[in-house]
Every structure is written in structure tokens, then in C-alpha cells.
Chains A and B, each alone.
Chain A
């Protein structure tokens, strides 16, 4: 059968979905146009070097402390009663064999099943923290042995006194250098590196689904959904991505006291991102990036034009571009005040902060061909160097900038595309490429998980391949599961992978 006929048949086999309400879609578009007109004023002002304050989806909503809705003070439990510090248990992580010979290609060091109910994983310093039997459990990095256990605070329990709703109630476990914070819709618990609960805090009933949590050096930032934003006569339809009104709550990381809480952007989407810059909280929604004062919650500036924070924040620069729009330039924006430092042609596909520079890999879709380019800029937006990059064969998968050693990067448009190894200090191209040999399996995704470390997901769904800038690699056999999102942490030669099922430690040799 001819290919065109086969394609038509394939299209006919696509399961039909109920059509949306065209009138509702049209009203949403009209509403966006009104918002866009509002923020376009801000965009012009920003382009002129000024700061636009609070003109888009945040509007002039005042900062609304909701202390009255909160319990009077965070709870600081008796550490002796709540924390069990245990002797290292060599049997806690299976296959934890001391002196295991890993040559020539690395080996699995230990593996620990994760609770089916709580497949969450956090980190404090370089040690993993998991949830088991309604306890937070800190593990030894090298052996997987249990270091400490701490009971979950009552503040995290449902108001009616029911069982802890994890993860069914939607919870997030986020780690930092010295502490890990567990948040669910009911409360917050902060535990330090020794397993001591520093404070717990009940959250006000306002806000239902937990959306994002950020643990900064000074604050715990919690974003929760309120309700979809519907225009008159709009009806919520299954599967439709309505913008969601959100509420942002910021607590002091030292004692859990409320700093501020306010209703946030009305157009939060699943892909919205959160970032921190000095004393600013940056949040993108479907219409704008908004910057709020971390201490007071007051709006500082916002960037309109449907910017996209997915390529994020690096070295004081926001790398933003409108998603889904062909041929729009990427803007490099000073995160301090929202002024545009420079514009670069194409769409940012990867960004890296290294050696005081911001490296951006750009894909530029020209009428006759798609070109790729790596650009390095100083924090003030000054161009340091730019180099053409050969295009990849598959533009869906895996353009990457890999930090090899803090001074050089490996840049490629895809796993099969020729790579450039560049000394970032002067933009000179090196001849050696420690990752020149790519795995023989087809790669569906790859990403950097630490300095010089790359994790690869082959399409056989059988596991992961970890490679490093010294040319070493190790393959991990572990099942993928629908919806799982592996997390990783590395320390020297030890690499940890966590997915829905288990935590796996492998050593590169």
C-alpha cells in the first residue's frame, strides 16, 4: 500500500476525542488577547530599560497575610521523642557488599525498594531521604543503611484526623544543603541533616492541590492551586488545561513562621516553573514571568509576551522565550530588574551556568534550513563567544550542554549529532571528546545529573546508562513505569537513581 494511503489510514485510526466548546475556546482567546494587550505595555517599557511593575496577571492584588488562618505558631517537637537515630544497618540496602570489584565498567553497589505508597525521594546534603511507614528515613550514601528515622508531624495529617495522605493528597519532598522539607496540602515539616525535626507547620485550608515547593536559603516557598479560572459560561471539561488561580505561601526557613501569603498568578499551568534570584521569587505562568519580593511578596516586575522559564535561570540571567511560537527570539533578561540584556536568534534548547558564563544552545528555524549555535554571554549580557553547532538527526531528543570539568563543556544537538568540546574561557574547540562513543541502543532522552555525568534513557525501557566525562559508563537495569520521573544524585563516583520502585546506587570505575 502506498505510504500516503497508509498515513491516511493511520490518521483515521486515531481515537476521536469529544470536541471542545468552540465558543469557550474563543472566549479564552479573547481573554488572553486582553491580557496580552495589558502586558505588551510592560514589554515595551522593559525593552526601554525600565521596570514594569505588576501590570499583568498579578494585577494590583495586595499582599494578604493570612496569619489568622494559620495556627498561632509552628510546632517544634521534642527531638528525643520524634527522632530515632540508628546504628548503620548494613542490611538496609541490598547488595551492599563492601569491597565489591566494579572493574571494568562499574557496578551496582546497593539497591533499596521504595514504598509503593510513598515513592518520593529527597536529599539532604548528598544523602538520600525516603518515606517509609509514615516516617522520613535518612540513608547512608555509600551503603544505603538507615542513619535516622523521624515520625511525620501531626500537622501533615488530614484535618478530620484521618491517616496521613501521602502521596494521595499530593506531597513534595525537597532537599537542600542542610535540610529537607516535606510538604503536603495540610502541612510542612522541616528536618535537618541529622534527622531532627526543626519545625512543623499546619497550612491554612486555602489552597487545594500542591503545585510547587522551593527550598531556598531563607524560605520555604509553597504554591498551591485554588481553582480553575473560568470565564462566564465556561465549563470545566475533562482534560482541558484551564489556567489555575494559585496561592503562594512563603515561610521562614529558620522557624516556619509565615512571611507572607497571597493569591498568585491566575494563569498557572502544569509546566509553570519557580526560581529564586537573590531576594526575588520568580514564577512563570501562561502569560508572564512575575518577580516577587521574597520578604514581602510585593511585585517587583513582570515580563509579558508568554515567556517560558523552562530554560530557566542561570547566573543572574533569565533565559526566556515564548513557547510554541516559531521564529521568536530568545531573550536574556537580568533577573534583578527584568530588563532585557540581549536577544539571540532562535529557540533556547539548553542552558548551562559555568565558570561565570551563561551558555545557551540555540535552534534557529530558518526558511531553508535549521541551524544550531552555542552562545556564551557574561552576566551583563556581553557576548563572550559564539560557535556553530552541527544539527542533530532528530530534533525531538536531547540537545545538551554537558559540564565536563567546570572549565569545558560538551555541546551537541542530539545524541547522534557531532559534538563540540569547548574550553569556555576562550571558546576554543578541543579535539578530544570523552563521550565520543554513544551507546549502541536508541536514546530517547539524556540529561546531565552532575558535573561531567550524563544519564541516558534508552528506548528499550530496560534501564539507564550513566556516562561521565572520563569516558566511563555503567548500565543500570531497572524498570520504567508510567508516570515515574527518575531523580538522581551523585557524589564523587557514586550515582543514585530513584524511580517509582527503588533506589539504586552504582559506582563508576
Chain B
């Protein structure tokens, strides 16, 4: 009997405890109300920060567009996009040379960097001994974070004199030199992402391929790279985005002359380098400035398109 009443009392006690937690102690600032208050405040803080971040991002999009579009009050879009004549002194703003330069430079960079990066990725994921892999992966991660001026400095002080000797050109500046500097810059990015993609290919694919009698060469090219294709593409697009947007490293080796890049060793200019070299000396309310903003807006659109592509590839990757 005593035991029964004791358990009954305990039940009552627990019930009371339970209701006490639910209802709080009734005072206005007891622990429960305080916790709920903090909880709610924190949520609003987060919403507020997210709203600020969105506001900043949207105002960048809006602002670049709004300032850039003013160019077309004075310059026809046809002329802006298809003329190579860029001489602000005579009010002619043809940006085709820069747009072409940017694409040519990016294409050349990818031509150099993609094969080498895939080789490095295959090496890291498939061949290197474990200690070397554990050493090289963090090293490549650190290389991704080296400032671009340092690479530009290397290009300026080491690469240009070498190219000058080797090619015999009076001035070695141009898209070839810039492409080599950019290759060194994007190599770590592309190889690390490809390395991750190749490492993620299931072990059973390899075993199945080897069991069929394939050599490592055949396995890598016929099984592993096709299986890791979408990951590798992701890395290539990120590398491309970096090559298109890189400014200072390019400025230091490309020569900064507004002329069409129709030769490898010819001082020229791309979108980014032209913006950064000219904008500090330009009055804000001038067509010249608006044209530079329009070029910035172009860069923005190009990179947003590439990010959308990345998403498509990622979705494909998760599906298969």
C-alpha cells in the first residue's frame, strides 16, 4: 500500500513538473519566456541579415544594369558590341576588342590548363602513394588562395623576360603570357575539383573494369573519366569563371593597349584589365564611365550564365 501511494505521489509530481515546464512559473521573465524570447529574436535577426544580403546582391545587379544601360543613350548597341574602335577621346566606344580578348584569353587558358589538370587529378586520385596524396591535396588547396598579384608579379618578373628571349618579340606582353599566368592560377582549382570527382567514382567500377582485363590506361579513359565527367565539367567551369574575372594578374602581363588580340604576342586588353586601368581617371557622369559599367555588367552576366551551367551539371551528376 505504501509503495502504491509512493508511486502515485511520484506520478503526481512528474505531472506537475511536466505542466510546470509547459506553463512556466507564471512570472513574466522566467527562464521559459526568456528562452522563447531569445529564440524569436534570433530568428528575426537571421531573417534581417538574409534580407540585407539579398538587398546588397540585388542592388549590385540593378545598379550595374542601370548605369551600364546609359551607354546606349550616346552609343548604338551595334557599335558597342561589334566595333573594335575604342578611343574615348573621340567619343567612340567599341568594346568588341575587349570582349573578344576575354574569350580568346579564356579559351587559350583552358586549352593549356584542362589537360594538365586532368592528368594531375588522375595522378592524385588513382596513382600517387598515400603519403604524397595527403601532402599534395592541402598544398593545392593553399595554392588556390594565393593572391593574384603574386602570380602577376611572377609573370612580370620571370615569365615576360623568358618569353622575350624565347620568342624574339620586342614586347612579349599579350594574351599568350596572360594565358600562361592564368593557367598556373586555375590549375589548382580544376585539378582539386576533378580529383574529388574522380575519387567519388565507386570502387566497383574500377574492379569491374580490371576484372574484364582492362589496363589502368583503359580503365581511366573508358570508365573513370566518363563516370566523373560532370564533376570535371564543374571544375572546368569554375576555372573558366576565374579566368574570365581575373584582373590584376592579367593587367600586369597583358600590355593594356586597346587593340584586337589577333596575335599571341601583341599588347592588348581584356574587359577586366581595361576597366581597372581606366576607371580611376574617368568622371562618373560620362559616356566613357557608363561604357565601362556596361562592360562590367557583361562580365556579371557571363559569370551568372556560367553558374547556371554549373547547376545544370551538378543536377546531372546527382541524377546519374
The answer to whether A and B interact is no
Residues of A within 8 A of B (CB): none
Residues of B within 8 A of A (CB): none
